[in-house]
């Protein structure tokens, strides 16, 4: 495909990720998709290779790299046909612990996360009655001396059954007691090994995708005060930084998906012969592939910009949102184009296109929908009036 690695960063990391992912071909992911099973072997291999600890500082046994490096890892995972959904949360939840955790908490948990002894994969924010309006969460942690008592419910929490630790956002003061609705929320680092069955119930939610999605029910769950990250009542601002990282990392996965579809479509268009010639000779086939490449290349530059701003400590909320929107739309266009290029074979499991087609559609909805990104740009960038 000519210049197939436009603006490629971290070539050594990318090459190492490609070699690792080659051991987990499409058949592996198809089987897991059918069985709705967690890719334990894949996550273990990534952990042992150090790819899931790229953001952990060297003093805590990590690589000490930035978000841009993490983006390179996830992009290549997705370009290879693999899926980072089983483990990407560890990267974006890491920031809450790294930036706002105590030294004692970091020394207790980070080396174990880096080695794979502990998994930090669950991010407990979304609720049935709150959705993207995080200020309206109602899960409450009541002060009970040396511990909190947590009651409430969370929804769309992926990997809770496969995680040892969960970053949990909850209220510690009622919303109505503050003029600013984002105040009064706190972050707890919950040990899932002790919590499940002792006040925490995990219920799987079947979805179109194998993301191990669950619903969580908290019923007088006791959480020690030592689990509080940062200051009580300041949790919302801690989570915001993690959300920006999440959107940038998800955007990088979309870029990887898009490149996967373009690679697949280009190869098939060259190989598939109809009426005595390859279908790739037809401009009706060529042009959609070329357009997908153009759109994806532009989106990739936005992702890189957002990641670099984040790593530099700059406010990157708008750029993170725009990167996620552009990348998710570019990957979806590429997915649709790839199915169309393959024709009926695009729906066959054997070609391993339909699985990725389903996977990449998610990202125009989660972790934030396209409409909410447009609303953010309209009201926060263009100063248009908010609608209520």
CB atoms within 10 A of CB 164: 18
Q: Do 253 and 139 belong to one domain?
A: no
Q: What is the pLDDT of residue 7?
A: 55
| CA separation for the pair 123, 147 (Å, rounded) | 21
DSSP 212: -
| CA separation for the pair 171, 141 (Å, rounded) | 6
Taking the CA atoms of residue 99, residue 105, residue 106 and residue 110 in that order, the dihedral angle to the nearest 10 degrees is -120
If we measure between CA atoms, which residue out of 153, 373, 355 comes closest to residue 244?
A: 373
Q: What is the pLDDT of residue 1?
A: 41
CA distances from 272 to 2, 277, 344, 345 (A): 19, 8, 13, 11
Q: Do 300 and 283 belong to one domain?
A: yes
DSSP 132: T
Out of 202, 233, 264, a domain closes at 233
Identify whether the C-beta of residue 176 lies closer than 8 Å to the C-beta of residue 200. no
Total structural domains within the chain: 3
What's the CATH number where 20 sits? Answer: 1.10.540.10
342 lies in a domain?
Answer: yes
Q: What is the pLDDT of residue 2?
A: 44
Q: What is the pLDDT of residue 185?
A: 96
Q: Do 77 and 153 belong to one domain?
A: no
Out of 49, 84, 115, a domain closes at 115
202 lies in a domain?
Answer: yes
171 lies in a domain?
Answer: yes
Q: Do 212 and 242 belong to one domain?
A: no
What's the CATH number where 188 sits? Answer: 2.40.110.10
Q: Do 255 and 347 belong to one domain?
A: yes
List 246, 253, 319, 354, catalytic entry: 246
1 lies in a domain?
Answer: no
66 lies in a domain?
Answer: yes
| CA separation for the pair 197, 349 (Å, rounded) | 38
| CA separation for the pair 166, 53 (Å, rounded) | 17
The domain of 262 spans: 237-381
Q: Do 265 and 377 belong to one domain?
A: yes
Regions in the chain scoring below 50 on pLDDT = 1-5
Q: Do 217 and 246 belong to one domain?
A: no
Q: What is the pLDDT of residue 65?
A: 95
Residue pLDDT, tens place only, 111-162: 999 999 999 999 999 999 887 788 899 999 999 999 999 999 999 998 899 9
What's the predicted TM-score (pTM) here? 0.93
Q: What is the pLDDT of residue 319?
A: 98
| Residues 21-25: contacts with CB under 8 Å, at least 24 apart | 21/76, 21/77, 21/80, 21/81, 21/82, 22/80, 24/80, 24/82, 25/81
Out of 233, 261, 284, a domain closes at 233
31 lies in a domain?
Answer: yes
HSE-up (13 A, CA, CB side) for residue 105: 21
Q: Do 246 and 375 belong to one domain?
A: yes
CA 225 to chain centroid, in Å, comes to 28
Instruction: Identify whether 35 is a catalytic site residue.
Output: no
Q: What is the pLDDT of residue 115?
A: 94
Q: Do 150 and 252 belong to one domain?
A: no
Q: Do 169 and 107 belong to one domain?
A: no
3 lies in a domain?
Answer: no
Structure tokens at 67: 């978000």
Task: Please give the helix or strand (H or E) that residue 374 lies within, else none.
Answer: helix 370-376
If we measure between CA atoms, which residue out of 158, 123, 153 comes closest to residue 140?
A: 153
292 lies in a domain?
Answer: yes
Q: Do 256 and 366 belong to one domain?
A: yes
If we measure between CA atoms, which residue out of 340, 350, 351, 348 comes closest to residue 289?
A: 340
What's the CATH number where 357 sits? Answer: 1.20.140.10
Residues whose CB falls within 8 Å of the CB of residue 253, separated by 6 or more in sequence, listed in order: 74, 75, 77, 78, 84, 85, 88, 363
Q: Do 203 and 286 belong to one domain?
A: no
| CA separation for the pair 257, 232 (Å, rounded) | 39
CA 365 to chain centroid, in Å, comes to 12
């Amino acid at each position: 495909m000519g210049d197939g690695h436009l603006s490629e960063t971290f070539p050594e990391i990318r090459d190492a990720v490609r070699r690792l992912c080659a051991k987990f071909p499409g058949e592996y992911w198809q089987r897991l998709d059918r069985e709705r099973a967690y890719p334990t072997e894949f996550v273990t291999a990534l952990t042992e290779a150090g790819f899931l600890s790229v953001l952990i500082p060297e003093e805590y046994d990590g690589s000490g790299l930035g978000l841009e490096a993490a983006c390179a890892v996830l992009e290549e995972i997705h370009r290879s046909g693999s899926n980072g959904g089983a483990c990407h949360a560890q990267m974006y939840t890491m920031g809450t612990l790294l930036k706002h955790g105590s030294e004692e908490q970091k020394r207790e948990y980070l080396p174990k996360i880096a080695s794979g002894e502990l998994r930090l994969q669950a991010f407990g924010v979304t609720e049935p009655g709150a959705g993207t309006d995080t200020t309206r969460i109602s899960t409450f942690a009541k002060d009970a001396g040396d511990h909190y008592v947590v009651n409430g419910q969370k929804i769309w929490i992926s990997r809770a059954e496969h995680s040892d630790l969960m970053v949990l956002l909850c209220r510690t003061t009622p919303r109505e007691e503050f003029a600013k609705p984002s105040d009064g929320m706190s972050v707890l680092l919950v040990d899932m090994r002790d919590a499940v069955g002792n006040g925490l119930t995990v219920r799987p939610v079947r979805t179109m995708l194998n993301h191990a999605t669950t619903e969580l029910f908290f019923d007088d769950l006791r959480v020690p005060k030592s689990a509080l990250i940062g200051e009580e009542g300041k949790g919302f601002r801690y989570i915001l930084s993690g959300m920006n990282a999440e959107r940038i990392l998800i955007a990088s996965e979309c870029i990887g998906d898009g490149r996967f579809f373009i690679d697949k479509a280009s190869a098939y268009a060259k190989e598939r012969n109809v009426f005595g010639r390859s279908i790739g000779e037809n401009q009706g086939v060529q042009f959609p592939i070329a357009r997908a490449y153009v759109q994806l290349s532009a989106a990739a530059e936005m992702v890189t910009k957002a990641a670099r701003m984040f790593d530099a400590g700059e406010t990157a909320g708008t750029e993170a949102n725009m990167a996620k929107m552009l990348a998710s739309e570019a990957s979806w266009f590429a997915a649709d184009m790839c199915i169309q290029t393959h024709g009926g074979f695009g729906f066959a499991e054997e070609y391993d296109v339909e699985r990725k087609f389903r996977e990449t559609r998610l990202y125009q909805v989660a972790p934030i929908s396209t409409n909410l990104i447009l609303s953010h740009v309209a009201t926060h960038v263009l100063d248009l009036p908010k609608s209520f």
